[in-house]
Amino acid sequence: MKKVIVIASFCLAAVFLSMNTAAAKEVNFKGEKLSWIIPFKVGGGSDVWARLYSPFFQKYLPGNPTMAVKNMPGGGSITGGNHFHTRIRKADGSTVFGSSGSTSFPYLLGNSKVKYDFKKYHVVFASPTGGVAYINPELGVKTAADLKGYRGNLQYASQGATSLDIVPLLAFDMLGLNVNAIFGYKGRGSGRVAFEQGEVNIDYQTSTAYIKNVRPLVKMGKATPLMTWGVLDANGDIVRDPIEPDLPCFPEVYEIVYGKKPSGPEWNAWKAFFIAGFGVQKAMWLPEKTKPEIVKAYRAAAHKIMDDAEFLQVVEKSLGGYPQLAGENAQKAFDQVLSVSDEDKAWVIKWIKDKYDVEVK
């Protein structure tokens, strides 16, 4: 009887060993060339971001595969997103997609050209960023508290009413500021130049651009910092940005101006677009039908990357120093974007139409 039990146990162990070996083979990318679709041109922010990360994925994914960035610009990133959704049939980990806030905003606004659906994908990791708003000192506004009841005329260089500028434009509007958005600018860099040349008198820059290009203006007395948009904490709440901890974040400024915390559809919409544009500004995604063990392997690689001493230097130098979000932490943050209600989406679409006479199609 003992012999039978031993043989049975041996056979059972062999079966489990075989199953584990087969599973291990499924996530072994040795000798493979993986593609990372970036829906923007070479040299842009998302392209640089992906090329910073890809060597580390090569290092930590099972089998140390080659990961090549494949640029697919067009349609404000919609072209690449739609290609990933409709043309990528293999869910074997060989192709991943990199999104940015510019990819998320058309999705949130229900743009009819969008075919991709983030609710169906698996997020591997996300990279947050921040934003700092500042004003011309000649206007006499010294701190965010001076915005209470401020009725001066402000000009802002904007990339468009449905662009990432939804976040600053809606914030300014919620604070009751009289801001004239001048559309047609191609990026925040050109917006900053317009501010320096006196064409506009209020602006914002992402944290990295602010540190490099606007802090010198502050030191020279040519710009007054007002607020940051904030960052997400571990509970998903918006708190002060560690890049500028002495500045209040937007929810604080709202409370300073009105004596109460922000609420209602405008706040729900602002928060969703803030998280999509800043809290999880860039993210890596796997296709819908990707096997759980492959998702697990990618997320495990992301966690290892974020503990890598060399990568931490990259984060500090090139990604603003913000803690990166891997696996479930990224999913938890992005769930706040996906959970914005249809009513709140409808509210912001109507606001864009009423405020700027722009139809979201």
Task: Mean pLDDT check: name the lowest of 18-22, 140-144, 235-239.
Answer: 18-22
> According to CATH, where is 3.40.190.10 located in the chain?
131-276
Evaluate if pTM is beyond 0.95.
no
> According to CATH, where is 3.40.190.150 located in the chain?
32-128+280-326
pLDDT at 340: 87
Q: Are 224 and 141 in contact (CB under 8 A)?
A: yes
Q: What is the CATH code for 32-128+280-326?
A: 3.40.190.150
More confident residue, 23 or 138: 138
Q: How far apart are CA 172 and CA 286, in angstroms?
A: 36
Pick the closest to residue 174 from 360, 351, 13, 353 (CA basis): 351
Task: Mean pLDDT check: name the lowest of 103-112, 154-163, 231-240.
Answer: 231-240
Q: Are 340 and 269 in contact (CB under 8 A)?
A: yes
pLDDT band at 22 (very low <50, low <70, confident <90, very high): very low
Question: Over the chain, what is the mean pLDDT?
Answer: 91
* Phi/psi at 180 (5° precision): -95, 115
pLDDT at 107: 95
Mean pLDDT across 222-239:
94
Task: Mean pLDDT check: name the lowest of 218-232, 257-271, 284-298, 311-325.
Answer: 311-325
Q: How far apart are CA 170 and CA 128, in angstroms?
A: 20
Q: How far apart are CA 187 and CA 78, in angstroms?
A: 18
> Over 50: is that where the pLDDT of 35 sits?
yes
CATH architecture of 131-276: 3-Layer(aba) Sandwich (3.40)
Place of tokens 């509210």: 347
Length of the chain (residues)? 361
Q: How far apart are CA 111 and CA 109, in angstroms?
A: 6
Place of tokens 């990707």: 290
Is the dihedral angle over the CA atoms 200, 275, 234, 261 positive or is it negative?
positive
Q: How far apart are CA 91 and CA 189, in angstroms?
A: 38
More confident residue, 19 or 136: 136
Q: How far apart are CA 191 and CA 201, in angstroms?
A: 10
11: left (phi over 0), alpha (psi -120 to 50) or beta: alpha
> Over 60: is that where the pLDDT of 112 sits?
yes
Q: How far apart are CA 99 and CA 78, in angstroms?
A: 10
> Over 80: is that where the pLDDT of 10 sits?
no
pLDDT at 235: 84
pLDDT in tens, 249-299: 999 999 999 999 999 999 999 999 999 999 999 999 999 999 999 999 999
- Beta-strand relationship, 325-326 and 122-127: antiparallel
SS3 86: helix
